[in-house]
């Protein structure tokens, strides 16, 4: 994996210390503080070994530019975004690697309501970062740092207005959780107590090494599958390290694709929202679920910031991605895995069906996700030649190249976080998917 | 020549907040220090400057990045951090304090295992690392440990060393002026544990220092006034990082930092133990008289705490210090320590049954002039050479600039470590002798 720093509108991420280190974090915070000029910043971090270190560099740089820093300590980013939606902040910063490996980390930038920056705002921050002409104030005007604790009650109470809390409490769900030793672990028990759940917790010690890559997916679900079977739980779930992504294991102990999470959330909100945002990389399951739920679905580029920003711009009720992410605009401007979990519990309860029964009504699609390592200097040459090759099929170029054929679609796009091409192919027939893969590989080799 | 407001030198790093002392710079320096020490446990303490929080966050992050496990001791006097470093067998420590510099400054002072400042050659190695930017940077940093009781170790050593019982019997009343500095959270309790009644002035930290932090007579008028008003037995003034001390007698008269040191040495030699004494080359002759009276040898070292404490170790001296109020009692730790100084002086007053003014009057009184003059390195060398020639009849010591002794006066001229200036100290047996010598020296310097 490349040691280079990956820069995007939501922040910077990379391997510690080769790409992301205290120097980069402090300069980045100085640039953001210079951009914001003054005010109060909400800050939180995850439990990765490098997060306190990077957080200290950020705090110092904010103070030096005269901005106050309210430090919520160990807190999942969606929780910070929830608070920011309700309080007066000038902006937010978080050190949280999300789904990235343990020796990676990320510095995330947030707007005043916990939203993501627009790309024009992001590039202004990077311009300041590069020019390194940072705002500095004298000792009299230095910012102040204050530690604060996140109060779970308002968060849970807001959630209880969205779902049928009493029915869930009566249901006595028995669930198996795997938060991957992420910071969200600390908040699962209060969540379970509030909803009257019996929680069987795996890997819930923040600060301990990750037991598996912190990405909720079927390949990391074996532990949860085994425990769901052994304990006859109602279902199980996996979270990424900062509680923004979610995937499920059904009551039979079989893991569901993370592509199921967004459709389940949309079905749970049937006839309650009219418009939702997803990406061009998300499974057709979501199109199906949106139709079932009476939701008009708009599509944009991959990434939390693109989806959430369009959600705001379009006044859409919800947004999400095939990575197991879901945001509800009346709740917060964040992908929030615990909210998604509550919605799915609500659906299971209301429909009086098990998770496997719910999913069995889903249409069947075959999806392949490929990642192909490409030297950075070759990426755009390959993309150009593919664009040429597919020019006759009316390609959607919003995010890489996306082609729709009868019963099949595929997308080829460069990753924004690694030097790879991501290829997603989905079709009704497995054979069509295999043929499409063969075709794309052939055209790439040319 | 434009003078930079950033000073990176063998004494550490010093700069003006908002101008030169930036988070990025502090982080880089902390990474270099952590690399130099080789990781391990590194203590961090600060004085009460409002910029301490900003500096500390950057420092902690840089130390973590360099592979160290920092121990955050909060606000802590420098001598307490040095004692803590030694007693807890830490691998090093950094104090965030610009000591007597104005409030807009801050600085990092570097301490190695054993609780001493870095020797010049060690500091030079660290600076090489810093300038080359070749740091250890770890993928999996350690954790910050918070320590709230670091002062207790220091305090206990002093309470075990002095006779608090005697002090208590005398019912002494003390006025303390910690300059709202690093000693403020601790010093009242400390003096109460020594059995005195305490009045504290300038003891609310935050914002500007209430006075110039250097405990010179002209900066401690409020202390003198309060001693008279409260009819106290003694007044003490500390600087912002609590290594230097100046005492005020019961009449509200400052006895001066030179005599504060001399009285502490005097009592130590009378009642604690006979041992050689080490002071720096700029310290008053009054300490020589005290040593002679006790029948012990006195040695002079180069200026700077590390030079004095190193010389003390070589000469097996137990007591010593610097004439600017830096009292070193090796039974506690061989560092400048205002707390040890206060304890010794209080015990002296209590044990002798005399007033502080009476004790001070037993010492001979010399007249001292301190001055400094802008000079580049090249000019300084020329000045030293011509002075050496001009005053060749005297007893010459050239270990640190130039010191020349005559029966009626002596002088010490040396280039500063941190600024392009030469520092001049002249002391005569009386005002007339001192002024005459000073004029002669300045004439030669200006040639």
Q: What is the ipTM of this complex?
A: 0.90
Q: Which residues of A touch B139 (CB under 8 A)?
A: 15-17, 49-50, 103
Q: Give the residue on A whose Cα is nearest the Cα of B55.
A: A60
Local structure of A140: helix, strand or coil: helix
Local structure of A106: helix, strand or coil: strand
Tokens standing for residue B76: 């802590």
pLDDT band at B25, cuts 50/70/90?
Answer: very high
CB contact under 8 A, A57 and B57: yes
CA distance A115 to chain B (A): 27
* C-beta neighbour count of B17 within 10 angstroms: 26
Q: Residue count of chain A, please give it.
A: 446
* C-beta neighbour count of A398 within 10 angstroms: 16
Known catalytic residue at B330: no
What is the rounded distance in angstroms from the CA atom of residue A434 to the CA atom of residue A436? 5
Closest to B402 (Cα-Cα) out of B412, B416, B410: B412
Of the residues B53, B54, B55, the best mutation for testing chain A's interface (the one with the most A CB atoms within 10 Å of its CB) is B54
Residues whose CB falls within 8 Å of the CB of residue B228, separated by 6 or more in sequence, listed in order:
B251, B252
Q: What is the pLDDT of residue A1?
A: 42
Q: Exposed e or buried b for every residue in B169-186, given b needs 16+ CB within 10 A?
A: ebebbbbbbbbbbbbbbb
Tokens standing for residue A176: 């198996």
Instruction: Considering the candidates B99, B282, B301, B338, report the single residue annotated as catalytic.
Output: B99
Q: Give the residue on B whose Cα is nearest the Cα of A60.
A: B54
Contact B105, A17 (CB under 8 A): no
What residues does B98 pair with on adjacent strands? none
CB contact under 8 A, A63 and B53: yes
Write out the residues of chain B at the interface with chain A, using a CB-CB cutoff of 8 A.
Answer: 17-19, 22-24, 26-28, 31, 49-51, 53-58, 60-62, 64-65, 103-104, 106, 137-141, 143-144
Q: Which residues of A touch B143 (CB under 8 A)?
A: 52
Taking phi over 0 as left and psi of -120 to 50 as alpha, with beta for the rest, B252 belongs to left
Q: Give the residue on B whose Cα is nearest the Cα of A15.
A: B139
Smallest Cβ–Cβ distance between A64 and the set B23, B65, B103 belongs to B23
CA dihedral B353, B355, B357, B358 (to 10 degrees): -40
Residue bearing the bigger pLDDT, B51 or B6: B51
Q: What is the pLDDT of residue B48?
A: 95
Q: What is the pLDDT of residue A15?
A: 93
Q: What is the pLDDT of residue B3?
A: 64
CA distance A50 to chain B (A): 6
Average pLDDT over all residues of chain B:
95
Q: Which residues of B touch A16 (CB under 8 A)?
A: 139
CB contact under 8 A, A55 and B61: yes
Q: Which residues of A touch B103 (CB under 8 A)?
A: 139
Q: Which residues of A touch B22 (CB under 8 A)?
A: 64, 134, 136
Smallest Cβ–Cβ distance between A22 and the set B18, B61, B139 belongs to B61
What residues does A174 pair with on adjacent strands? A198
CB contact under 8 A, A136 and B19: yes
Contact A395, A290 (CB under 8 A): no
Q: What is the DSSP letter of A118?
A: P
Do you find a cis peptide bond into B354, omega within 30 degrees of 0? Answer: no
Alpha helices for A253-412 (secondary structure H): 261-268, 284-293, 304-313, 337-351, 355-360, 376-389
The model's pLDDT over B413-444, given as tens digits with 9 standing for 90+, comes to 999 877 788 999 999 999 999 999 999 999 99
Of the residues A45, A139, A142, the best mutation for testing chain B's interface (the one with the most B CB atoms within 10 Å of its CB) is A139
Chain-centroid distance, C-alpha A93: 16
Q: Which residues of A touch B31 (CB under 8 A)?
A: 22
Q: What is the pLDDT of residue B283?
A: 98
- Residue pointed to by tokens 């690694």: A418
Phi, psi of B406 (to 5 degrees): -125, 160
Q: Which residues of A touch B28 (CB under 8 A)?
A: 23
What is the rounded distance in angstroms from the CA atom of residue A440 to the CA atom of residue A138? 59
Contact A355, A361 (CB under 8 A): no
CA dihedral for A303, A307, A310, A312, sign (positive or negative) = negative
Of the residues B16, B32, B61, the best mutation for testing chain A's interface (the one with the most A CB atoms within 10 Å of its CB) is B61
Q: What is the pLDDT of residue B196?
A: 98
Instruction: Say if strands B298-301 and A174-178 run parallel, antiparallel, or are unpaired.
Output: unpaired
Q: Which residues of B touch A22 (CB under 8 A)?
A: 27, 31, 61-62, 64-65
Phi, psi of A40 (to 5 degrees): -115, 130
Q: What is the pLDDT of residue A383?
A: 94
Q: Give the residue on A whose Cα is nearest the Cα of B69.
A: A53
**Once rounded to an integer, what is the mean pLDDT over residues B287-311?**
96
CA distance A130 to chain B (A): 14
- Is the pLDDT at B355 greater than 60, yes or no? yes
Tokens standing for residue A113: 């309501």
Mean pLDDT per 10-residue run, chain A (446 residues)? Answer: 70 92 97 97 96 98 98 97 96 93 94 91 93 95 96 96 96 97 95 97 93 93 97 97 94 97 98 97 97 97 93 97 97 97 97 97 95 89 94 94 96 85 96 96 87
The model's pLDDT over B136-161, given as tens digits with 9 standing for 90+, comes to 999 999 999 999 999 999 999 999 99
CB contact under 8 A, A16 and B139: yes
CB contact under 8 A, B24 and A23: yes
Q: Which residues of A touch B144 (CB under 8 A)?
A: 52, 56
Q: What is the pLDDT of residue B2?
A: 59
Smallest Cβ–Cβ distance between B65 and the set A22, A138, A140 belongs to A22
CA distance B85 to chain A (A): 22
What is the rounded distance in angstroms from the CA atom of residue A72 to the CA atom of residue A70? 6
Tokens standing for residue A105: 């980390």
CB contact under 8 A, B18 and A30: no
CB contact under 8 A, B141 and A27: no
- HSE value, Cβ hemisphere, 13 Å, CA-based, for B39: 11
Q: What is the pLDDT of residue B102?
A: 85
CB contact under 8 A, B61 and A57: yes
Chain-centroid distance, C-alpha A258: 12
Tokens standing for residue A86: 């309700």
Q: Give the residue on B whose Cα is nearest the Cα of A28.
A: B24
What is the rounded distance in angstroms from the CA atom of residue A365 to the CA atom of residue A282? 12
Instruction: Say if strands B173-177 and B298-301 run parallel, antiparallel, or are unpaired.
Output: unpaired
What is the rounded distance in angstroms from the CA atom of residue B128 to the CA atom of residue B418? 17
Chain-centroid distance, C-alpha B67: 30
Question: What burial class does residue A363 get, using C-beta atoms within 10 Å of its C-beta: 0-12 exposed, 13-18 middle, 19+ buried?
Answer: exposed
- Residue pointed to by tokens 């890489």: A400
CA distance A188 to chain B (A): 24
Smallest Cβ–Cβ distance between A139 and the set B50, B56, B57 belongs to B50
Contact B185, B45 (CB under 8 A): no
What is the rounded distance in angstroms from the CA atom of residue A247 to the CA atom of residue A256? 7
CA distance A23 to chain B (A): 6
Question: What burial class does residue A343 get, using C-beta atoms within 10 Å of its C-beta: 0-12 exposed, 13-18 middle, 19+ buried?
Answer: buried
What is the rounded distance in angstroms from the CA atom of residue A241 to the CA atom of residue A12? 17
CB contact under 8 A, A64 and B64: no
What is the value of pTM for the model shown? 0.92
Closest to A284 (Cα-Cα) out of A176, A380, A367: A367
Residues whose CB falls within 8 Å of the CB of residue B174, separated by 6 or more in sequence, listed in order:
B191, B196, B197, B198, B199, B232, B233, B234, B235, B236, B346
CA distance B96 to chain A (A): 14
């Amino acid at each position: 994996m490349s040691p280079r720093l990956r820069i995007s509108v939501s922040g910077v991420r990379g391997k510690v210390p080769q790409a992301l280190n205290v120097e980069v974090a402090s300069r980045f915070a100085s640039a953001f503080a210079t951009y914001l000029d003054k005010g109060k910043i909400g800050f939180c971090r995850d439990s990765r070994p490098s997060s306190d270190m990077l957080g200290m560099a950020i705090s110092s740089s904010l103070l030096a530019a005269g901005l106050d820093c309210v430090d919520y300590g160990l807190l999942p980013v969606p929780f910070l975004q929830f608070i920011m939606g309700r309080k007066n902040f000038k902006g937010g910063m978080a050190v949280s690697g999300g789904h990235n490996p343990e020796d990676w980390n990320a510095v995330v930038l947030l707007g005043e309501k916990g939203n993501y920056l627009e790309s024009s705002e992001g590039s202004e921050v990077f311009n300041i970062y590069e020019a390194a002409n940072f705002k500095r104030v004298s000792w009299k005007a230095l910012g102040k740092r204050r530690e604060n604790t996140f109060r779970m009650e308002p968060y849970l109470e807001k959630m209880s207005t969205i779902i049928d809390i009493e029915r869930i409490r009566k249901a006595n769900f028995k669930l198996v959780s795997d938060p991957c030793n992420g910071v969200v672990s600390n908040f699962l028990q209060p969540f379970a107590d509030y909803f009257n759940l019996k929680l069987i917790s795996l890997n819930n010690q923040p600060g301990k090494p990750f037991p598996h890559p912190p990405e909720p997916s079927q390949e990391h679900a074996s532990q949860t599958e085994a425990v769901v079977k052994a304990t006859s739980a109602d279902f199980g779930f996996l979270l990424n390290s900062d509680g923004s992504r979610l995937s499920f294991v059904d009551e039979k102990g079989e893991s569901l694709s993370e592509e199921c999470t967004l459709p389940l959330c949309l079905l749970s909100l049937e006839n309650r929202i009219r418009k939702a945002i997803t990406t061009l990389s998300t499974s057709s399951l979501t199109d199906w679920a949106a139709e079932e739920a009476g939701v008009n679905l708009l599509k944009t580029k991959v990434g939390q910031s693109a989806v959430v920003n369009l959600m705001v711009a379009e006044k859409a009720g919800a947004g999400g991605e095939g990575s197991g992410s879901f945001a509800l605009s009346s709740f917060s401007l964040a992908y929030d895995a615990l909210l998604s979990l509550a919605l799915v519990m609500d659906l299971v309860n209301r429909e009086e069906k098990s998770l496997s029964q719910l999913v069995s009504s889903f249409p069947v699609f075959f999806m392949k996700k490929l990642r192909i390592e490409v030297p950075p200097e070759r990426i755009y040459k390959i993309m150009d030649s593919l664009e040429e090759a597919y020019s006759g099929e009316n390609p959607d170029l919003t995010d890489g190249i996306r082609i729709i054929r009868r019963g099949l679609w595929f997308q080829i796009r460069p990753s924004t976080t690694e030097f790879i091409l991501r290829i997603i192919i989905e079709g009704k027939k497995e054979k069509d998917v295999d043929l499409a893969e063969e075709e794309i590989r052939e055209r790439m080799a040319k | 020549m434009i003078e930079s407001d950033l000073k990176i030198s063998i004494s550490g790093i010093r700069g003006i907040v908002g101008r030169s002392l930036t988070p990025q710079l502090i982080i880089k320096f902390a990474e270099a220090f952590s690399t130099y020490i080789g990781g391990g446990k590194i203590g961090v303490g600060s004085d009460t400057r409002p910029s301490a929080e900003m500096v500390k966050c950057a420092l902690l992050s840089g130390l973590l990045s360099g592979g160290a496990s920092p121990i955050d001791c909060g606000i802590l006097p420098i001598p307490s951090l040095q004692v803590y470093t030694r007693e807890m067998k830490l691998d090093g420590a950094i104090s965030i304090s610009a000591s007597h510099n104005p409030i807009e400054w801050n600085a990092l002072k570097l301490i190695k295992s054993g609780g001493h400042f870095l020797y010049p050659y060690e500091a030079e190695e660290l600076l090489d690392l810093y300038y080359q930017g070749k740091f250890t940077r770890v993928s999996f940093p350690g954790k910050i440990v918070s320590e709230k009781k670091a002062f207790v170790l220091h305090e206990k050593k002093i309470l075990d060393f002095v006779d608090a019982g005697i002090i208590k019997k005398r019912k002494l009343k003390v006025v303390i002026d910690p300059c709202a500095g690093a000693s403020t959270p601790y010093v009242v309790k400390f003096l109460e544990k020594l059995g005195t009644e305490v009045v504290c002035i300038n003891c609310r930290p935050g914002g500007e220092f209430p006075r110039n932090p250097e405990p010179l007579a002209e900066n401690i008028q409020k202390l003198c006034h309060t001693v008279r008003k409260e009819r106290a037995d003694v007044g003490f003034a500390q600087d912002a990082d609590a290594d230097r001390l100046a005492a005020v007698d019961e009449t509200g008269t400052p006895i001066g930092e030179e005599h504060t040191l001399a009285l502490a040495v005097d009592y130590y030699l009378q009642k604690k133990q006979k041992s050689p004494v080490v002071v720096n080359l700029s310290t008053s002759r009054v300490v020589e008289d005290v040593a002679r009276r006790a029948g012990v040898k006195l040695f002079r070292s180069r200026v700077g705490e590390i030079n004095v404490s190193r010389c003390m170790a070589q000469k097996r001296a137990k007591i010593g210090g610097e004439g600017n109020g830096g009292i070193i009692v090796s039974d506690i730790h061989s560092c400048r320590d205002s707390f040890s100084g206060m304890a010794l002086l209080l015990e002296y007053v209590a044990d002798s049954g005399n007033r502080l003014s009476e004790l001070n009057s037993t010492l001979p009184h010399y007249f001292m002039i301190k001055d400094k003059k802008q000079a580049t390195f090249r000019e300084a060398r020329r000045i030293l050479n011509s002075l050496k020639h001009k005053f060749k009849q005297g007893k010459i010591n050239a270990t640190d600039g130039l010191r020349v002794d005559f029966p009626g006066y002596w002088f010490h001229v040396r280039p500063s470590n941190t600024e392009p200036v030469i520092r001049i100290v002249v002391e005569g047996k009386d005002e007339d002798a001192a002024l005459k010598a000073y004029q002669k020296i300045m004439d030669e310097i200006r040639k």
